[in-house]
């Protein structure tokens, strides 16, 4: 979930819980009822949703009374004189234009705390009060399911009570479906991705059969509560991390849930459309793990250390520099003394490929309103929901319409059809991947063999390189321009200040790139390879 005011996700099943069939990925999205109160381009309403963007909408949040009954959190969720028909009805009205869409009321959240969940779950009588009230409430307002966002159960008593609660909720929903002759309500849960919290809070085999799926909150691995920079939602660990921190990543958390007994098809991977940031103590040190305090408040998110994707768009459009972690497969940006970890199109495409390769059940988003939902970023190519649209395309085969023709002409790298050890750069030469790496067409750059979709080749095929008069038409992962570097002509250049980086000039503009971990840029071959100390004394 999104610590400090955020959370969850889910999917459709029949009267018996079932796993999605091949390629039948779940793509839930969170709708937050407080985004309506933002100003200007940040204001988000149900009508901003585009049909087929998501398979489920999770309404954040429903609330629990002291007597364990369920209620709306915000009066604007319900019909009244000043809010009209209310947010519940407006969200559920989206199903008229998107008939396959399912909606769930997510109850709880980070700011809700744990006390009422603990108290409610302690006895069968209290559990029944909540369950009866929750089922009646979601039926009244036309939701298709109940999502439990208890953050988090902890300790032997909570483990037992949580398992009993989830089991009884699932059984009650099945019984209600029989008596009402309506489709069974979905039962889902937002769950932790932290090792200690997982092991201390969940009896996974006891809950696995009773949940349609879980929303694995694979974010908030690092944030400004820590005094050093780190990644919000990395795919993998970093070699130089402390051993205790190497579990703070998507790959480890998802595998851990599966190993403890949750079927992969029921594990839905969390994707944030927000990021977390720091104010650097020393702005000349921009490395991961450097010391910092919470980043400054941004214009729309209005929370220190948190910003939306559309705010990162504006930072990049106004001079921020984008960097890429090849190890952890996520970007970060730096603007002055502000250091931000976030997700962008490249990292999300990589995560979707990882989900498909590892056969997980899908991906959910926190949140709809943090994406550039109205394509108003200064450097927008006209694609609404530029992040969530990638999930829709990669997991659902759904193309989200553009508001202009710009996003129909996106640039990309071309893959040589011959051998994954090579790729074309649309220049008068070929570039080869370093030893132990392969070129990934979906990602557009060289990756470690374990993350490549093809088998290692045993032979090298020679071919003539492709040439073009417009080398700017395709490029590697672009970082924001390096204003201090002056391009003489288009092409690749070594960064004389850092052997692990290089610069590419496109149409007279310089862009900075990072070589993969352990490699340096060689000016003679114009590629990243294992470092040669004699040629790069500054390599460290």
Helix (H, G, I), strand (E, B) or coil at 322: strand
pLDDT at 83 over 90: no
* Range 59-75 average pLDDT: 98
* Range 310-338 average pLDDT: 97
Nearest to 294 by CA among 250, 360, 338: 338
* Range 317-341 average pLDDT: 97
pLDDT digits 0-9 by tens, 118-160: 999 999 999 999 999 999 999 999 999 999 999 999 999 999 9
pLDDT digits 0-9 by tens, 336-348: 999 999 999 999 9
* Range 229-237 average pLDDT: 98
Provide the token pair at 207. Answer: 């809950």
**Residue with more model confidence, 299 or 2:** 299
Which of 228-237, 257-266, 437-446 comes out lowest in average pLDDT? 437-446
pLDDT of residue 170: 99
Catalytic residues: 151
Count other Cβ atoms within 10 Å, centred on residue 239: 10
pLDDT at 68 over 90: yes
pLDDT at 535 over 90: no
Composition of the chain by helix, strand, coil, percent to 5: 25, 25, 50
CB 248 within 8 A of CB 190: no
Q: What angle do CA 388, 100, 22 make, to 5 degrees?
A: 70
**Residue with more model confidence, 416 or 512:** 512
Model-wide pTM > 0.85: no
pLDDT of residue 450: 57
**Residue with more model confidence, 448 or 60:** 60
Beta sheet of 509-514, edge-to-edge order: 491-494, 501-506, 509-514
Which of 28-42, 272-286, 422-436, 491-505 comes out lowest in average pLDDT? 422-436
Q: Residue 326 — very low, low, confident or very high, per pLDDT cuts 50/70/90?
A: very high
**Residue with more model confidence, 373 or 442:** 373
pLDDT of residue 484: 65
Nearest-angstrom CA–CA distance, 326 and 24: 30
Nearest-angstrom CA–CA distance, 60 and 366: 10
pLDDT digits 0-9 by tens, 378-425: 988 899 999 999 999 999 999 999 887 666 655 443 332 223 333 333
pLDDT at 479 over 50: no
Provide the token pair at 310. Answer: 């559309």
Provide the token pair at 103. Answer: 């909606």
pLDDT of residue 476: 32
Nearest-angstrom CA–CA distance, 362 and 359: 9
CB 164 within 8 A of CB 210: no
pLDDT of residue 491: 66
Please report the domains of the chain, with CATH numbers, ordered by start residue. 28-272+341-405 (3.20.20.80), 422-529 (no CATH)
pLDDT of residue 243: 92
Q: Residue 470 — very low, low, confident or very high, per pLDDT cuts 50/70/90?
A: very low
The H or E element spanning position 388 is helix 388-396
Which of 73-87, 173-187, 433-447 comes out lowest in average pLDDT? 433-447
Helix (H, G, I), strand (E, B) or coil at 147: strand
Q: Residue 500 — very low, low, confident or very high, per pLDDT cuts 50/70/90?
A: confident
pLDDT at 251 over 90: yes
Which residue carries 């220049």 as its tokens? 427
pLDDT digits 0-9 by tens, 89-128: 999 999 999 999 999 999 999 999 999 999 999 999 999 9
Which of 210-214, 265-269, 299-303, 524-528 comes out lowest in average pLDDT? 524-528
Q: Residue 527 — very low, low, confident or very high, per pLDDT cuts 50/70/90?
A: low
pLDDT of residue 487: 75
Per the DSSP assignment, residues forming a β-bridge with 269 are: 216, 363
């Amino acid at each position: 979930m999104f610590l400090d005011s955020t959370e969850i996700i889910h999917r459709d099943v029949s009267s018996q819980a079932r796993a999605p069939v091949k390629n039948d990925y779940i793509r839930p999205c969170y709708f937050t009822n407080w985004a309506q109160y933002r100003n200007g381009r940040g204001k988000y309403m149900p009508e901003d949703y585009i049909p087929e963007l998501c398979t489920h909408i999770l309404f954040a949040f429903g609330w629990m009374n002291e007597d364990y009954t369920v209620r709306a959190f915000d009066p604007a969720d319900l019909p009244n004189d000043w809010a009209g028909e209310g947010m519940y009805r407006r969200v559920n009205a989206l199903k008229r234009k998107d008939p396959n869409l399912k909606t769930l009321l997510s109850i709880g959240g980070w700011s809700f705390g744990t006390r009422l969940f603990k108290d409610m779950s302690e006895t069968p009588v209290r559990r029944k009060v909540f369950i009866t009230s929750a089922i009646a409430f979601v039926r009244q307002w036309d939701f298709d399911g109940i999502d439990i966002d208890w953050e988090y159960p902890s300790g032997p008593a909570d483990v037992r009570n949580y398992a009993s609660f989830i089991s009884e909720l699932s059984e009650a929903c099945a019984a209600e479906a029989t008596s009402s002759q309506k489709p069974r309500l979905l039962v889902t849960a937002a769950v932790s991705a932290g090792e200690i919290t997982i092991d201390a809070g969940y009896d996974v085999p006891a809950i696995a059969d009773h949940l349609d799926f879980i929303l694995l909150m694979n974010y908030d691995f690092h944030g400004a509560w820590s005094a050093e920079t780190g990644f919000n939602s990395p795919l993998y660990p970093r070699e130089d991390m402390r051993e205790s921190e190497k579990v703070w990543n998507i790959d480890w958390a998802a595998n851990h849930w599966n190993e403890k007994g949750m079927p992969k098809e029921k594990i839905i991977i969390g994707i944030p459309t927000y990021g977390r940031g720091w104010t650097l103590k020393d702005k000349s040190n921009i490395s991961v793990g450097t010391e910092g305090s919470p980043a400054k408040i941004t214009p729309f998110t209005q929370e220190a250390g948190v910003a939306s994707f559309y705010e990162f768009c504006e930072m990049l459009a106004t001079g921020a520099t984008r960097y890429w972690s090849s190890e952890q497969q996520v970007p970060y940006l730096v603007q002055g003394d502000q250091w931000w970890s976030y997700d962008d199109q490249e990292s999300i495409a990589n995560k979707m490929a990882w989900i498909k390769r590892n056969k997980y059940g899908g991906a959910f988003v926190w949140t709809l309103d943090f994406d550039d939902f109205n394509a108003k970023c200064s450097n927008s190519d006209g694609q609404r929901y530029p992040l969530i649209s990638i999930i829709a395309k990669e997991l659902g085969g759904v193309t989200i319409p553009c508001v202009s023709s710009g996003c129909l002409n996106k640039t990309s790298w071309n893959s040589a059809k011959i051998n994954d050890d090579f790729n074309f750069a649309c220049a008068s030469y070929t570039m080869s991947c370093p030893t132990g790496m392969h070129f990934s067409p979906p990602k557009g750059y060289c990756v470690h063999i374990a993350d490549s979709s093809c088998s290692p080749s045993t032979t090298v095929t020679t071919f003539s390189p492709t040439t073009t008069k417009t080398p700017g038409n395709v490029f590697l992962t672009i970082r924001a321009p390096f204003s201090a570097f002056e391009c003489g002509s288009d092409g690749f250049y070594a960064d004389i200040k850092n052997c692990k980086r290089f610069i590419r000039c496109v149409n007279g503009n310089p862009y900075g790139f990072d070589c993969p971990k352990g490699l340096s840029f060689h000016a003679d071959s114009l590629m990243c390879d294992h470092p040669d100390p004699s040629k790069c004394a500054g390599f460290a």
